[in-house]
Amino acid sequence: MPKFSHRLEYVFLKAAQGLFSLCGLRVTRKLAHVLGRFVYKVIPIRKQIVIRNLRIAFPEKNTAEIEALARRCYISAAIVFAEILCIPSLSREQINAQVKIPSIPMLTEKFRENKGMVLLTAHFGNWEFGFLAMGMQYIKPIVGVVKNQSNDYVTRDLNKMRTRWGNTVVTLGVSIREIYKALKDKETVSMVGDQRGPTEGPRVLLFNRPSAVYTGPAALALKSGAPLCFGIMIRQEDDTYEFTFQEVSKEGLPENEQAAVLELTQRHTTLLEEAIRKQPESWFWMHNRWKY
């Protein structure tokens, strides 16, 4: 039996979805600016975590700079949340107009190597827009590895949204064999890979601090032989996005399998850090990335 709180949360989300969809993207983004500032000031959800993370990442910034950056992070997160709520009311043409993917020729060339492909991204910009646009602009729909939400109603709606135009989803942790099979069948598998890993798990450097990571994307790419391409959604001045990818080099990896997986993980983590330094407000700093 679903929890009453989950039903209430779902009703609230559907009401917000209806409001934002009625307003349209342009007005929704303006409302999200106000919402982000309000939450930061009045309902400081995870504010201490955000401030702590920013201080770790940018020790050279003073208190005023950190607080100003944190406020921009809340505004960015509010915009992304509101945009995601608008997705059910948007057409495929509208989604495509929001996301330019200049890397499509490179990705298509990699796809034609017939090895499958791992597309890795992060909670940076609007990753849900990116998943939908990739499925429409790429040579064929893609397979998304997703994590179930604690609220089953929300999980159902998100996955319905994600598969609206041909993409498919596989639940993280349910069947690694299913993900591996998709790669062996020469499919393109997409995943968001910047979550904090298990406390006792492997670590790589992120902002000069050892950080627990999930090594699954690197392990899958190495075991299957598929190229690993890392992509970032960069918000533009007009609030559209540019989704840019680059292949993560497998050259010069250690012969030891575990060491190779860890080194490849470090390489794509370094690319993430470089992107964050260029546009720090676009990363989702509300994750307790350095909890230990």
Tell me the per-residue pLDDT of 110-119, one tens digit each, with 9 for 90 and over. 999 999 999 9
How far is it, in rounded angstroms, from Cα 292 to Cα 284?
A: 18
pLDDT confidence bin for 142, thresholds 50/70/90: very high
Residue 176 has pLDDT above 90, yes or no: no
> What's residue 38's pLDDT?
96
DSSP 192-251: E--S---TTS-EEEETTEEEE---HHHHHHHHH---EEEEEEEEPTTS-EEEEEEEPP-T
How far is it, in rounded angstroms, from Cα 118 to Cα 130?
A: 15
Residue 222 has pLDDT above 70, yes or no: yes
Structure tokens at 12: 């609230």
Instruction: Give residue 168's Cα distance to chain centre.
Output: 17
Domain ranges of the chain: 1-89, 95-285
Type of residue at 283: W
How large is the average pLDDT for residues 153-171? 94
> What's residue 162's pLDDT?
96
How far is it, in rounded angstroms, from Cα 103 to Cα 106?
A: 5
**Would you call 240 helix, strand, or coil by DSSP?**
coil
How far is it, in rounded angstroms, from Cα 228 to Cα 220?
A: 9
- Residue 78's Cβ-count burial label (10 Å; 0-12, 13-18, 19+) is buried
How large is the average pLDDT for residues 119-126? 97
> What's residue 2's pLDDT?
58
How far is it, in rounded angstroms, from Cα 180 to Cα 177?
A: 5
Structure tokens at 280: 């720090």
Block residue for tokens 């609230």: 12
- Residue 264's Cβ-count burial label (10 Å; 0-12, 13-18, 19+) is buried
Structure tokens at 29: 């983004």
pLDDT confidence bin for 283, thresholds 50/70/90: very high
Residue 174 has pLDDT above 90, yes or no: no
Tell me the per-residue pLDDT of 20-74, one tens digit each, with 9 for 90 and over. 999 999 999 999 999 999 999 999 889 999 999 999 999 999 999 999 999 999 9
Report in angstroms the alpha-carbon separations of 271 from 36, 144, 158, 275, 278: 27, 21, 28, 6, 11
Lowest mean pLDDT among 197-206, 250-259, 275-284: 197-206
Q: How many residues does the chain have?
A: 292
Q: Supply the Cα-derived Rg of the chain in whole angstroms.
A: 19
Alpha helices in the chain (DSSP H): 4-23, 25-41, 47-57, 63-86, 92-98, 104-111, 127-137, 152-162, 176-184, 216-224, 257-278
